Structure 1
């Protein structure tokens, strides 16, 4: 192999590496990223310490839907919560039962016992452009009821798609 061929081979490898890095940066910045679940507020759906991959592109193309597990960006911390109420809806929790616009909503993702731990809340109307979120572990979750308040649409940075760590517990979060 001549010196010229070796030099060309190195240049081609360098180009390939640079392109791969740029593609990875683009994907992480605009399409997918990871987040760590901190605390037990999403238990049993998500466990403390799990890493989730979330879709950053979805809410550029669409809006959050009820039941989505979303990543919320607040100063100094991200939160993982479930969307419960949509803009303009009236939310009420009475003896653990969730009512949306006066109609009882069946929370199939929660056990009856966990639902009873939701306490009482509202009724309150969610402002336009905002969402009402709660953790699945209602007894200990910091959420729209008690500290996070309503979540502005631009604070929702993605939808959780699946758990990637621990490696033996890969699963979809939807």
Structure 2
């Protein structure tokens, strides 16, 4: 084989290698973009990370707990009693409340003598950290009738929570609920799914 033929073979071999490297690079770039797009879609339409600030959900959730919120489920089903939900403090949507659903649409909620009544029946629940003190019954000391898409929410730390008992929060509409607190991801020693 002549030197010229040998050079032509090497040039062809180098050209094939360059095409293969370019093809592999494009595949890697495609997968990176796919991962970034998937992450964006999941965080904006399926799940969202949020952090607990304060003690209003103790002992279930603690200050600084990091949660993943399921934003998808409530598009297909209604929230249930005792679900832990996330909703914005106001229209700015920068600060969120994390509370437990107690009253469902169409129900009448009242807190009397430190106990919760739904449609005049004592609510059988065990989430409250302690009995509600008489000075913390708020607007629920009188019966509250929930509208068709309204929910009554409370923090588990009932005497240290700003929730539906406060007129500044009041009843929460379904459209305001961002999603259901699904899993605690931090601290790692308390990692796990949140059940109602």
With normalisation by structure 1, the TM-score equals 0.93
Contact 2:128-2:158 at 8 Å conserved across structures: no
The 3-state SS of whatever aligns with 2:24 is helix
Q: Which has the higher helix share?
A: 2
The CA deviation string for residues 14-35 of structure 1, in whole angstroms up to 9 with x for no partner, is 0111111111111111111111
The CA deviation string for residues 38-83 of structure 1, in whole angstroms up to 9 with x for no partner, is 1110011100110011111110001111100001123331110000
Partner of 2:10: none
Partner of 1:157: 178
Partner of 2:49: 34
Partner of 2:6: none
Written as runs of structure 1 = structure 2, the 5 A alignment for 1:1-174 is 2-73=17-88, 74=90, 75=92, 76-111=94-129, 114-117=130-133, 119-120=136-137, 121-146=141-166, 147-174=168-195
Q: What CA distance in whole angstroms lies between the structure 2 residues aligned with 1:116 and 1:23?
A: 44
Gap regions ≥5 residues in structure 1: none
The CA deviation string for residues 106-163 of structure 1, in whole angstroms up to 9 with x for no partner, is 112235xx12337432211112211111101111100010131111111101101121
Gap regions ≥5 residues in structure 2: 1-13
Q: Which has the higher strand share?
A: 1
Would you say how many aligned residue pairs link Structure 1 and Structure 2?
Answer: 172
Partner of 2:8: none
Q: What CA distance in whole angstroms lies between the structure 2 residues aligned with 1:155 and 1:161?
A: 17
- Superposition deviation, residue 95 in structure 1: 1.3
With normalisation by structure 2, the TM-score equals 0.83
The 3-state SS of whatever aligns with 2:142 is strand
Q: What CA distance in whole angstroms lies between the structure 2 residues aligned with 1:142 and 1:116?
A: 13
Q: CA RMSD, aligned part only?
A: 1.4
